[in-house]
Amino acid sequence: MTSTESRRLSGRLGPIGIVFMVVAAAAPLTVIGGNMPLAMGLGNGAGAPVGFLIASLVLLVFSVGFVTMTPHVPEAGAFFSYVTVGLGQRMGKGIAVVALIAYTAIQVGIYGYIGWAIGDTVAFYDGPVIPWPVYSFVILAVVAVLGYRHIDLSAKVLGVALALEIGIVVILDLAIVTDPGPAGITFASFTPGVFTQGAIGIAILFALTGFIGFEATAVFRDEARDPERTIPRATYAAVILIGAFYTLTVWAFVVAIGPDQVAATAQQTLDGEANMLLDTTDAALGRIGRDIVNILLLTSLFACVLSFHNVIARYQFVLSRKGLLPARLGTVHDNHESPAFSSVVQTVTAAVIVAVLALLGIDPLVGVFGSMAGVATVGMVLLMLTTSVAVLVFFLRHRDLGGGKLWQTRLAPVLAVLGLLASLWLVLSNFTLVTGGSVTVSTILAAVPFVGLVLGALLWRPTRSGV
pLDDT over 50 (residue 464): no
The C-alpha atoms of residue 140 and residue 114 are separated, in whole angstroms, by 10
The per-residue pLDDT for 80 is: 81
Look at 370 and 140; give whichever has higher pLDDT.
140
Read off the pLDDT of each residue in 65-79 and give the average, rounded to a whole number: 77
Percent of the chain past pLDDT 90, that is, above it, reads 30
- Amino acid letter for position 212: I
The per-residue pLDDT for 9 is: 46
**pLDDT tens-digit series, residues 197-240:** 878 888 888 888 888 777 666 666 566 666 667 777 778 888 88
Read off the pLDDT of each residue in 273-284 and give the average, rounded to a whole number: 87
The per-residue pLDDT for 452 is: 92
**pLDDT tens-digit series, residues 3-43:** 444 455 445 556 676 676 667 666 778 888 878 988 898 88
pLDDT over 90 (residue 426): no
pLDDT over 90 (residue 320): no
Q: How far is CA 10 from CA 13, 150, 154, 226, 345, in A?
A: 9, 9, 14, 11, 20
The C-alpha atoms of residue 358 and residue 345 are separated, in whole angstroms, by 20
The per-residue pLDDT for 137 is: 95
Q: Would you tell me the crossing angle of helices 79-87 and 276-321 to the nearest 10 degrees?
A: 50
Confidence category of residue 1, pLDDT binned at 50, 70, 90? very low
As a CATH number, domain 15-459 is: 1.20.1740.10
Find all residues with CB under 8 Å of 86, minimum gap 6, and list them.
69, 387, 389, 390, 391, 392, 393, 394
- Mean pLDDT (the chain) is 82
